[in-house]
Amino acid sequence: MTGEGYRVGIGYDIHPLAEGRDLILGGVEIEYHKGLDGHSDADVLSHAVGDALLGAANLEDLGRHFPESEEFRGISSLIILEKISELISNAGFKIVNIDSIVNAENPRLASCRPEMTDNIARSLEIDRSAVSVKFTRGEGMGEVGRGKAMEARAVVLLKKE
């Protein structure tokens, strides 16, 4: 096989941390004194995954499908992933796998990995073994390292059905 029918996509998202917001990553509400600020729930992990999926299917980006409007204010990013799953399927693609990484200085997130993996897999209607969620720190560098923001990246592989 020449690789025909396979598509790769990358996604990236970053949001500032703010007082008075819930911290939600991969659909998991994490106890922390700050949360990610944004129009939706600002879940950088789900946003990076969603953008990677849309890109791989050549369906533009999150902003095109989920603009900063009243309709999407505060929306759960797991609902966004459900809608993206439908778009991907309607375009004739199947998700092969997802590899993602969250960059956050604090809090420590590894204990949340199983629930994040389950939430993403369930929202996209894929097996949890197809979802990888990893974590790293900013090591004091940049906005993330200074504890002012969190970011996430994702790479996905789709197969044309």
Q: How far apart are CA 35 and CA 15, in angstroms?
A: 9
For residues 157 and 122, is the Cβ–Cβ distance under 8 A?
no
Averaged pLDDT for residues 68-84: 93
Question: How confident is the prediction for the chain on average, in pLDDT?
Answer: 95
Residue 1 pLDDT: 43
Residue 55 pLDDT: 98
CATH number attached to the domain at 6-160: 3.30.1330.50
| Residue 6 one-letter amino acid | Y
pLDDT in tens, 32-65: 999 999 999 999 999 999 999 999 999 999 999 9
Averaged pLDDT for residues 74-89: 96
Domain boundaries, the chain: 6-160
Instruction: Name the pairing type of β-strands 6-18 and 93-103.
Output: unpaired
Question: CA nearest 133: which of 105, 157, 109?
Answer: 109
Say yes or no to pLDDT of 89 above 70.
yes
Averaged pLDDT for residues 102-116: 97
Global pTM reads 0.95
